[in-house]
């Protein structure tokens, strides 16, 4: 029982540190920034311009911001865009599913850029992210199927009126967006604690060691070294940040080569893990409702990226 309590305390500490020192600053700033762009009409203008291109893959024009945020900021940054999609009734659940599927597949900046220092090929990782993400978006759009009728906003609520009234009030807009970011972080703490707790339990009972033993022969046959089993297992149990830390240690020790890092990058550098999924779906009920088709599409998209990296490297 004492061991379980220690795991709970350790999981809680990790989750709170992640929420306070990574998610909170990113989301407060990003939500404030996105609210200002939305209020000034820039989001609408950009979305309209890109809609014809992204529509082919099932993504709304606004989805481009989620893709840019995941690529160049962090796995948590797209939450601000999903939060805006949550309340935009012009964006169907089907298109939210496509955007979520694409984001699940793409590399996150908070892992890709630090690993670039030790040899990760950024141009390739970005190109395969876009290709795999668009594929996953298209598949999630198909898997979701036709939308049921979206109910209108509550009586008396009008986003257009709200925008007009606050058009010139920059500071209140920044505060409002920041408060929304804070709310998202608060809601994400519980799923974070539970996800990390489950990972730590699996570590304690030896499940991760078992997975390493089980996967090593198969991965070796396709050109992935046994040393890569640890970061891969860690990635899909503890998240991308934990995986990045392990890879950096392996590279520093000389246990993993640059070529080996790039071979596994298409499979490991993405937010598709318990922590990433829990955070992204915490953006709202509509986002959470399309998780199933997004996950199905993401699996295919990630395998597509993985094969490309194995071929190139």
Q: What is the pTM for the complete model shown?
A: 0.76
273 close to 237: Cβ distance less than 8 angstroms: yes
CB atoms closer than 10 angstroms to residue 7: 18
The model's pLDDT over 214-249, given as tens digits with 9 standing for 90+, comes to 877 887 787 777 778 878 887 887 777 778 777 877
pLDDT, position 309: 94
Q: Which residues contact 195 (CB under 8 A, 6 or more apart)?
A: 15, 239, 274, 275, 278
Q: How confident is the model at residue 23 (pLDDT cuts 50, 70, 90)?
A: low
Q: What's the confidence (pLDDT) of residue 100?
A: 97
Across residues 104-115, what is the average pLDDT?
A: 87
Backbone angles phi, psi at 88, to 5 degrees: -95, 105
CA distance 311 to 313: 6
Burial of 83 (0-12, 13-18, 19+ CB in 10 A): buried
| pLDDT tens profile 64-90 | 889 988 888 788 889 888 988 998 888
Predicted local distance difference test score (pLDDT) of residue 148: 67
**Residue 156's pLDDT band (cuts 50, 70, 90):** very low
Tokens representing residue 19 in the block: 């929420």
How many Cβ atoms from other residues are within 10 Å of residue 118's Cβ? 14
Determine the angle formed by the axes of helices 291-312 and 122-144, rounding to 10 degrees: 150
124-128, 180-184, 256-260: the lowest-pLDDT one: 180-184
pLDDT, tens digit, for every residue of 132-154?
999 999 999 999 988 765 443 33
As a whole number, the mean pLDDT across the chain is 82
CA distance 50 to 151: 26
Task: Inform me whether the pLDDT recorded for 256 exceeds 50.
Answer: yes
**How many distinct helices (H) and strands (E) make up the chain?**
17, 0
- What is the predicted pLDDT for the residue at 302? 96
pLDDT at 248: 79
Q: With left for phi above 0 and alpha for psi between -120 and 50, is residue 223 left, alpha or beta?
A: left
C-alpha atoms less than 13 angstroms from C-alpha of 183 in its C-beta half-sphere: 12
């Amino acid at each position: 029982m004492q061991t379980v309590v220690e795991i709970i305390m350790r999981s809680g500490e990790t989750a709170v540190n992640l929420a306070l020192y990574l998610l909170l600053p990113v989301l407060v700033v990003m939500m404030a920034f996105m609210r200002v762009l939305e209020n000034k009409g820039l989001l609408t203008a950009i979305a309209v311009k890109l809609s014809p291109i992204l529509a082919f893959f099932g993504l709304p024009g606004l989805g481009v911001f989620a893709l840019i945020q995941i690529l160049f900021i962090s796995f948590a940054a797209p939450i601000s865009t999903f939060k805006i999609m949550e309340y935009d009734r012009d964006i169907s659940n089907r298109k939210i599913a496509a955007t979520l599927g694409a984001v699940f597949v793409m590399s996150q900046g908070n892992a890709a850029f630090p690993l670039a220092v030790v040899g990760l090929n950024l141009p390739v990782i970005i190109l395969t992210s876009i290709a795999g993400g668009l594929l996953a978006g298209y598949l999630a759009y198909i898997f979701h199927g036709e939308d049921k009728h979206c109910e209108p906003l509550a009586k008396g609520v009008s986003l257009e009126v709200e925008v007009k009234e606050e058009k010139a009030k920059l500071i209140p807009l920044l505060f409002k967006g920041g408060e929304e970011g804070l709310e998202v972080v608060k809601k994400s703490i519980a799923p974070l604690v539970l996800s990390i707790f489950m990972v730590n339990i699996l570590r304690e009972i030896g499940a991760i060691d078992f997975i390493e033993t089980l996967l090593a022969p198969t991965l070796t046959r396709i050109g992935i070294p046994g040393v890569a089993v640890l970061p891969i297992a860690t990635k899909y149990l503890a998240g991308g940040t934990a995986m990045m830390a392990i890879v950096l240690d392996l590279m520093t020790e000389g246990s993993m080569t640059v070529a080996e890092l790039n071979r596994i990058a298409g499979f490991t550098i993405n937010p598709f893990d318990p922590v990433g999924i829990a955070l992204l779906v915490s953006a709202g009920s509509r986002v959470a409702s399309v998780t199933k088709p997004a996950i199905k599409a993401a699996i295919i998209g990630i395998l597509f990226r993985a094969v490309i990296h194995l071929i190139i490297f």
